[in-house]
């Protein structure tokens, strides 16, 4: 019993120390840096605006969701050339989503690419990249709505020639739907404004997330073959495309950046089953690309080493302390007070600081994420580590194809309605908070939208 108690106490104390150092450094570096004098407003710049190709791969997407996505792209406030490539990846519901394609068929800015069979998101993206020619490429998920200035904000960051990729801030467009969507929205915000913001201080965002990420075409041209032919243990790797492409950018010597004012609202899972399948897929891709990331660390700032250690060693210490505490409780019946109180204290502190810096009390509710993390997500990640060779997409199999009786009800509207209004309110609220100096929160989770 003494061994279990000692193991749990030492592990949780080590976790608390590492987490305190890591989160403190992360919060410090996540503070906004001084804006470069070279970054002038694109609308007033005398330099020719770069051409942008927006690529939207979709597979069995709900037609209303796709319509809102494309309308937000069509409404971008950008003075340069903008071309949009909608790649239907062999969807089974083309008869239902066809009216959405028809809405934009006569718009010279839009091209609809219909693939004969499902080839996966990565190959769908590549098909459009090779059919386009813009200076910059913006990947957008088909369930994502962009704020009107996203292209302008990201293109502004890409004016710096050493930047190979840049991502915007992600929020959950359906955050008010369930308790889980509220948690995920906070998880996304924390991951963007702490983890990504701190990494961006050193030009090394480790994952430019799929829902809204812009790339330099000249950099893509160097990496496209590597990106297309990723294998793991002899099998094609068909998910985690955004993380892998980001790591390839860093390996090639390009900077990867985060632009908090480029806000994109994406649909997140509203129930536990789809959420866990998403997390399992993300965990596998993270583990696969961590080995590539380790090779980069000697060339990057020391903080990035702390970041990798904090994200990987921290959870291991938390698992070890929790397992030892549970064994102590089950075998000897003694309550592991030190372990429980330490974890509770860490949770209360990080959520309280988050609520203060975000100026929102709802972040106190993020404390619910701690038991979910310990008892569900950490075992899930352990399973992911043991099944790295499994390349099943999981959630892609659960397609939402309307039945014949539902088809008449899914004709897309020509405006975003209340959903867009709600998204606009969230975007405006975030910008008001940022204008008051809020830049991030002290809790973070490894989020990478690779769907």
The CA distance from 200 to 209, in Å, is: 13
Contact 320, 7 (CB under 8 A): yes
Instruction: Give a yes or no: residue 119 inside a domain.
Output: no
Q: How large is the average pLDDT for residues 392-413?
A: 42
Instruction: Give a yes or no: residue 100 inside a domain.
Output: no
Instruction: Give a yes or no: residue 420 inside a domain.
Output: yes
DSSP string of 66-119, one letter each residue: HHHHHHHHHT----S-EEEEEEE-S-TTHHHHHHHHHHHTT-TTEEEEE-SS--
pLDDT score for 220: 94
Phi, psi of 267 (to 5 degrees): -80, 130
pLDDT at 346 over 90: yes
**What is the share, in percent, of the chain residues with pLDDT greater than 70?**
80
Instruction: Give a yes or no: residue 99 inside a domain.
Output: no
Q: How large is the average pLDDT for residues 246-267?
A: 95
Tell me which of 409 and 257 has the higher pLDDT.
Answer: 257
* Banded pLDDT at 290 (limits 50, 70, 90): confident
Domain count, the chain: 1
pLDDT at 440 over 50: no
The CA distance from 425 to 238, in Å, is: 36
pLDDT score for 48: 78
Instruction: Give a yes or no: residue 47 inside a domain.
Output: no
Print the domain residue range for 398: 1-27+146-451
Q: What is the pLDDT of residues 106-119, one digit of tens each?
A: 899 999 999 999 98
pLDDT at 3 over 90: no
**Of the listed ranges 197-201, 276-280, 287-291, 346-350, the one predicted with least confidence:** 287-291
Instruction: Give a yes or no: residue 64 inside a domain.
Output: no
pLDDT score for 287: 85
pLDDT score for 367: 95
* Banded pLDDT at 442 (limits 50, 70, 90): very low
* Banded pLDDT at 435 (limits 50, 70, 90): low
Contact 313, 18 (CB under 8 A): yes
Instruction: Give a yes or no: residue 114 inside a domain.
Output: no
Q: What is the pLDDT of residues 170-195, one digit of tens each?
A: 999 999 999 999 999 999 989 999 99
Instruction: Give a yes or no: residue 3 inside a domain.
Output: yes
pTM over 0.75: yes
Q: How large is the average pLDDT for residues 143-147?
A: 97
pLDDT score for 237: 64
74, 129, 143, 263, 303 from 418: Cα distances, Å: 18, 33, 16, 18, 42
Tell me which of 48 and 7 has the higher pLDDT.
Answer: 7
pLDDT at 270 over 70: yes
pLDDT at 53 over 90: yes
């Amino acid at each position: 019993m003494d061994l279990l108690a000692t193991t749990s106490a030492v592990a949780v104390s080590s976790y608390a120390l590492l987490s305190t150092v890591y989160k403190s450094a992360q919060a410090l570096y996540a503070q906004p840096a001084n804006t470069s004098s070279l970054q002038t407003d694109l609308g007033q710049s005398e330099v020719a605006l770069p051409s942008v190709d927006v690529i939207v791969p979709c597979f069995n997407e709900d037609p209303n969701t796709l319509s809102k996505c494309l309308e937000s792209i069509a409404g971008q406030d950008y003075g340069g050339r903008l071309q949009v490539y909608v790649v239907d990846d062999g969807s089974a519901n083309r008869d239902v989503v066809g009216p959405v394609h028809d809405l934009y068929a006569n718009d010279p800015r839009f091209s609809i690419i219909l693939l004969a069979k499902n080839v996966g998101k990565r190959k769908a993206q590549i098909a459009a990249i090779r059919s386009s020619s813009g200076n910059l490429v913006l990947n957008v998920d088909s369930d994502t709505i962009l704020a009107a200035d996203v292209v302008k904000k990201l293109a502004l960051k890409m004016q710096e020639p050493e930047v190979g990729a840049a991502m915007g801030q992600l929020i959950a467009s359906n955050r008010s739907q369930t308790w889980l969507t509220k948690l995920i929205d906070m998880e996304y915000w924390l991951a963007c404004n702490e983890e990504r913001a701190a990494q961006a201080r050193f030009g090394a965002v480790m994952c430019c997330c799929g829902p809204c990420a812009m790339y330099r075409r000249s950099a893509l041209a160097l990496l496209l073959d590597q990106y297309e032919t990723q294998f793991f243990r002899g099998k094609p790797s068909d998910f985690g495309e955004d993380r892998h492409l980001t790591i390839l950018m860093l390996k090639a010597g390009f900077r990867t950046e985060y632009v908090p004012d480029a806000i994109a609202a994406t649909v997140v899972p509203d129930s536990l089953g789809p959420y866990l399948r998403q997390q399992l897929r993300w965990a596998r891709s993270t583990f696969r690309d961590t080995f590539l990331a380790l090779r980069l660390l000697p060339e990057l700032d020391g903080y990035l080493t702390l970041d990798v250690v904090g994200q990987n060693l921290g959870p291991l210490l938390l698992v070890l302390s929790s397992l030892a505490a549970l064994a102590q409780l089950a075998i000897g019946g003694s309550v592991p007070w030190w372990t429980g109180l330490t974890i509770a204290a860490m949770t209360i502190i990080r959520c309280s600081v988050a609520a203060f810096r975000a100026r929102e009390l709802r972040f106190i509710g993020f404390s619910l994420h701690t038991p979910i993390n310990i008892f569900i997500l950490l075992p899930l990640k352990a399973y992911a580590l043991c099944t790295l060779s499994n390349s099943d997409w999981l959630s892609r199999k659960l397609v939402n194809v309307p039945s014949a009786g539902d088809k008449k009800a899914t004709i897309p509207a020509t405006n975003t309605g209340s959903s867009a209004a709600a998204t606009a309110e969230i975007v405006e609220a975030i910008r008001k908070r940022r204008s008051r100096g809020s830049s991030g929160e002290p809790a973070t989770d490894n989020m990478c939208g690779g769907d």
